[in-house]
Amino acid sequence: MASTPTKFLNIRQMIIPPGRKNRPGKHLNVAGVTIHNTDNASKGADAHAHAKFVATTGYYMLNGQQHWISWHYTVDDQEIWQSLPSDEIGWHAGPGNSKTIGIEICMNVGIDQTAANERAAALAAGLLHDYNLGVDSLYTHHKWTGKRCPVLLLNGSEEGSKWLEFKNLVEEELADLAGRELVILRKKPRYLPQEYSREDETIEIGDDWEIPEIFLTKSDMVSSAVMYDDLYMNSDVIDAVHEVYADFGHRGYNLHSNFTNNFNFDKHLVKASNPPYTMCVSSQFEIILKAIIMYCDRTRDPKAYSYLSDREMFGLNGMTLQNCVWENEGCHSVGKALSLFGMGEIVDFSQLSPGSFISYDHPHGGHSVCFIGYLDAKANIVQGYGKDVVGFRFFSSNGSGSSGDGLSYRNGVLTGRQMDQGAFKQATGIHNMRCGMMYSPENWKREKLEYYLFSQQRIFAGVAPTPPSGQP
């Protein structure tokens, strides 16, 4: 029996930028998978920390010389971070570099090592399956160079009972995947706007700001840190953003208008009130709906359409998802709405991935947006949250009705921070951010929605919302 269901691997991506010395960019003809331990027991030395290290530093010093290193995946007890495309060479195992994908298993203080090993076994099995390889193509770092690595899976300096136990885990996972289509490689890297290679004629956007007209072409895209695992729906959200912008970008803003166009959500006709004008919360709800449509089309699985009835999904009166996204019914953010309906979770600003949602306050009111990436003081997208972050790029319906307003990308600047103007109009003084991410439909939790609806009904009746038996 498989030890870790593959759909819960929780794979995130922080790809080493092209051109860095630890990303040679050479094609890898995959003939196996090599397992390592990080050999780093420090507190906080988890998968994200190692992914950030190889993406931003990528070398260690030995005898006064820089030694560049890289590998493909880092695994801890909670998640996996990918640092290189699986078909590119990394520097992790000497002669094994040109033949194998490298997996580093964390061993930091406080980690559940058994869970980390099981997650790594599931990842290794998925990769072997996708490349049509068997467990005999699973190697230790020790096999290639003689180094005592993976230190926790060796008996002293040799492959013994510990390594055999790990190989058996991989073999069990591999058997469980028999007959399935691609497991790991079915996900393609996503691309997000960062900077643009040409500045065409500028257009006025009111308030004396000017930004270049933006054309999203393939050459204008660079890889960014996009979550694309099966737990969350960020990939489909980003695809929906691209589609909505391509069709309706800069077409106008109106506070009292909903949806850019009429479209079908399964059998329900979503009607636009004043197309193509829209406003912020309406644009985020439209992105949610179109991301669900994309998911159903991509997976050919329509069950997501029936998770909510039309009365639970649509309408600006009562307990509907739409009304809660509008920040009514006691909801104060898009993330809160998704959480209450069992479709997502509230997360901290420091933990966001592109395709997350933010509702925030600013000196003139509030705004709801889709998060695109963290920004430094030069208005460049940076990989992950850190001390250099002064704001973020977002997508929403923005403005006040001026020419060129509407669906667009902008840079948000946190209160007390400064950022270069760059290619995008800025929103400043941002504070009180309420953030959330949307689960993939297979992870939606109907029981949480039932408890929310039950609680609201009792509140309206003047009764304390004690949960029914069996509910959380």
Cβ atoms of residues 371 and 381 within 8 Å: no
The pLDDT of residue 383: 74
Q: How many CB atoms lie within 10 A of CB 448?
A: 16
Long-range contacts for 266-275 (Cβ within 8 Å, ≥24 apart)? 266/296, 266/302, 266/305, 266/306, 267/305, 268/310, 268/313, 268/314, 270/314
The pLDDT of residue 291: 95
List, for residues 386-397, the tens digit of each pLDDT value: 889 999 999 999
Portion of the chain with pLDDT greater than 90, in percent: 54
Residue 384 is which amino acid?
Answer: G
Query: pLDDT-derived band of residue 401, with 50, 70 and 90 as boundaries?
Result: low
Domains in the chain, CATH or no CATH each? 6-176 (3.40.80.10), 191-442 (no CATH)
The pLDDT of residue 442: 87
Query: pLDDT-derived band of residue 454, with 50, 70 and 90 as boundaries?
Result: low
In the block, tokens 């009429």 appear at 262
Cα 295–chain centre separation: 15
Long-range contacts for 90-94 (Cβ within 8 Å, ≥24 apart)? 90/22, 90/23, 90/28, 91/22, 91/24, 92/34, 92/36, 92/141, 93/34, 93/36, 93/139, 93/141, 93/144, 93/145, 94/144, 94/145
From CA 352, how far away is CA 30, in angstroms rounded? 32
Residue 402 vs residue 62, higher pLDDT: 62
- The mean pLDDT value of the chain amounts to 83
Nearest one of 38, 111, 48 to 69, comparing CA atoms = 38
From CA 465, how far away is CA 472, in angstroms rounded? 12
